[in-house]
Amino acid sequence: MNLSRMAVITLILGLLFPTSAYAEQPLHLEAKESYHQFPFFDTPTPVWSYDDQIPGPLIRGRVGTTMVIDFANRLKEPSSIHWHGLRIENAMDGVPGVTQEPVGPGKNFTYRLKLEDAGTFWYHPHFNSSEQLERGLKGVFIVEEAAKPPWSQDWVWLMDDWLLQKDGTIYSQFNTGRDLMHDGRWGNVPTINARFRPEFQVKPGERIRLRLINGANARIFSPHIEGLAASVIAVDGRPVTEIFPLERFVLSPGNRIDLDVRIPPQAGGSIFAVEDRFTRNAFPLATIKVAPSTPIDTPEVTPPTAADFIPAQMFAEVKVGKTWDLDAIRGGRFGIGWTMNRKLWPDADKAAYRLGEPQKVTFKNSSSRLHPMHIHGVFFRVLERNGKKAAEPFTRDTVLVGPRESVTIGFVPEHPGIWLTHCHIQEHAEAGMMTTIDVKHN
Ligand SMILES: [Cu+2]
């Protein structure tokens, strides 16, 4: 074969089978030291960021596609990225020591994420997490539906709180005895998208998709919008089976809800307060300000709902395969350890299941603290609380287990691999409250 003929064939092959560099535009995320300006201080606060942004860049992908993310660690310590709630290949789950090596300082790691579910997810490190998240490393990951519903706006509110000192710096003691004896590190500055009490502008008649993500280390939110009708249309990145009004929904660290919020056509010039009602004293989080203009036509939206996914009946004949008792002990790295069945991570009491077999797990909280328990790579259904049937019209990936409470969940392991299972109060997790569920092929 002469050279020119070979060149033509090479050219044709190149057109038919483009290299991956053409097929996928990788996204870059760089963890690095940076600054963030809070309104109360003269000088910016030193933080750790993705791409110099607090919160990290809002990632939007489309369901059914594969996203390639090149993570560059430019911190002075190892890190990783975990994609909270996404059901992806186990090797991409971002848990050092379980699914990958830690990404060292100056090193890169390429994540390939096949986006199976449309919804609201988020990302954060899974290394020295109580410090890395608290210093600012977190962002929201939206997976869009194939056909985007016509809401007038799609708002993403990453809720957080910061423990700031008078000089504007982040309180730099982590995993303190105080944090560990209580419900982790609660901050003194609540923020939405890293802004303190922000104001959001709307027009009368708008219908908004409002995505709330609790990215705090430990604080639990129960958001309330005074005077506006808001319905919960999705929980933890999955549409609900039945839409219900937002009333005292407990959003623990890790949890997300998507709301359908209607601004009445006659509400021109009004101001609506968004506040947190989880703690005894409610406090303001944000305001929604309606322009004094003529109303727009309210969009017709049929929020997507999911057919009954893993219905409760499916678990009727299933016995509880694992009970994890949640409690504190003396000892461990910080003097106080948080255990699952008296074991501290990595010396954990683990579970192993077969692919596709329905499972029941009970989280039994023997302590007087809060434990939002999260399982990676799976949606589960809450079946019972304290032995009584629960009837939640949705599935979750994180459930708050209250003091002395017992919560039984059901799920079907659909993705093989070793999936981390832990308390999402970062300080409890760092102090040992982690284990794994190993899902094996039949
Ligand atoms: Cu906990």
pLDDT digits (tens, 9 = 90+) for 214-248: 999 999 999 999 999 999 999 999 999 999 999 99
Output the CA 433–ligand 1 centroid distance in Å. Answer: 7
Output the CA 6–ligand 1 centroid distance in Å. Answer: 63
Is 299 exposed, middle or buried (CB count within 10 Å of its CB: 0-12, 13-18, 19+)?
middle
- Residues 167, 278, single domain; the answer is yes
- Asked if residue 298 is part of any domain, the answer here is no
In this structure, how many other beta carbons lie within 10 angstroms of the beta carbon of residue 272? Answer: 18
- Residues 266, 319, single domain; the answer is no
- Residues 346, 371, single domain; the answer is yes
Output the CA 12–ligand 1 centroid distance in Å. Answer: 58
- Structurally, the chain folds into a number of domains equal to 3
Instruction: State mean pLDDT over 258-262.
Output: 98
Output the CA 391–ligand 1 centroid distance in Å. Answer: 24
Output the CA 166–ligand 1 centroid distance in Å. Answer: 29
User: pLDDT above 90 covers what percent of the chain?
Assistant: 92
Output the CA 194–ligand 1 centroid distance in Å. Answer: 24
- Residues 140, 163, single domain; the answer is no
Rounded Cα distance between 298 and 205, Å, is: 5
Cβ-contact 207, 302 below 8 angstroms: no
Q: How does residue 195 score in pLDDT terms, banded at 50, 70 and 90?
A: very high
Output the CA 158–ligand 1 centroid distance in Å. Answer: 21
- Asked if residue 163 is part of any domain, the answer here is yes
Output the CA 429–ligand 1 centroid distance in Å. Answer: 7
Instruction: State mean pLDDT over 428-437.
Output: 98
Instruction: State mean pLDDT over 86-105.
Output: 98
pLDDT at 79 over 90: yes
User: pLDDT above 70 covers what percent of the chain?
Assistant: 95
Output the CA 124–ligand 1 centroid distance in Å. Answer: 18
Domain boundary among 144, 178, 195: 144
- Residues 131, 169, single domain; the answer is no
pTM assigned to the model: 0.93
Output the CA 370–ligand 1 centroid distance in Å. Answer: 6
pLDDT at 14 over 70: no
Q: Which of 24-28, 104-108, 140-144, 266-270 has the lowest mean pLDDT?
A: 24-28
pLDDT at 20 over 90: no
Residue 203, CB-side half-sphere exposure with 13 Å CA sphere: 12
Domain boundary among 124, 144, 164: 144
- Asked if residue 403 is part of any domain, the answer here is yes
Output the CA 121–ligand 1 centroid distance in Å. Answer: 21
Residue 308: the pLDDT is 84
In this structure, how many other beta carbons lie within 10 angstroms of the beta carbon of residue 387? Answer: 8
- Residues 185, 53, single domain; the answer is no
- Residues 27, 137, single domain; the answer is yes
- Residues 10, 135, single domain; the answer is yes
Rounded Cα distance between 73 and 51, Å, is: 11
Cα angle vertex 80, ends 77, 82, to 5°? Answer: 150
Output the CA 336–ligand 1 centroid distance in Å. Answer: 12
Mean of per-residue pLDDT scores for the chain: 94
Output the CA 236–ligand 1 centroid distance in Å. Answer: 19
- Asked if residue 276 is part of any domain, the answer here is yes
Residue 5: the pLDDT is 54
Residue 213: the pLDDT is 98
Rounded Cα distance between 262 and 257, Å, is: 16
Q: Taking Cα atoms as reference points, which of 284, 140, 125 lies closest to residue 213?
A: 140
Domain boundary among 81, 115, 144: 144
pLDDT at 7 over 60: no
Residue 209: the pLDDT is 98
CATH number at residue 177: 2.60.40.420
- Residues 258, 284, single domain; the answer is yes
Q: Taking Cα atoms as reference points, which of 381, 25, 334 lies closest to residue 173?
A: 334
- Residues 139, 188, single domain; the answer is no
- Residues 140, 10, single domain; the answer is yes
pLDDT in tens, 373-386: 999 999 999 999 99
Residues 6+ apart with CB under 8 A from 240: 232, 233, 234, 305, 306, 393, 394
Instruction: State mean pLDDT over 193-221.
Output: 98
Output the CA 401–ligand 1 centroid distance in Å. Answer: 9
Output the CA 332–ligand 1 centroid distance in Å. Answer: 15
User: Three-state SS for 74?
Assistant: coil
Task: Give Rg (Cα) of the chain.
Answer: 23
Output the CA 272–ligand 1 centroid distance in Å. Answer: 34
Q: How does residue 38 score in pLDDT terms, banded at 50, 70 and 90?
A: very high
pLDDT at 292 over 70: yes
pLDDT at 10 over 70: no
Q: How does residue 306 score in pLDDT terms, banded at 50, 70 and 90?
A: confident
pLDDT in tens, 111-121: 999 999 999 99
Instruction: State mean pLDDT over 333-342.
Output: 97
Structural domain span for residue 11: 3-144
Cβ-contact 38, 46 below 8 angstroms: no
Rounded Cα distance between 243 and 102, Å, is: 41
- Residues 241, 341, single domain; the answer is no
Instruction: Name the residues around ion ligand 1, CB cutoff 5 A.
Output: 371, 423, 425, 428
User: Three-state SS for 289?
Assistant: strand
Residues 6+ apart with CB under 8 A from 242: 305, 393
Instruction: State mean pLDDT over 75-83.
Output: 98
Residues 6+ apart with CB under 8 A from 174: 130, 131, 134, 185, 427, 430
DSSP 189-231: EEEETTBSS-EEEE-TT-EEEEEEEE--SS--B-EEETT-EEE
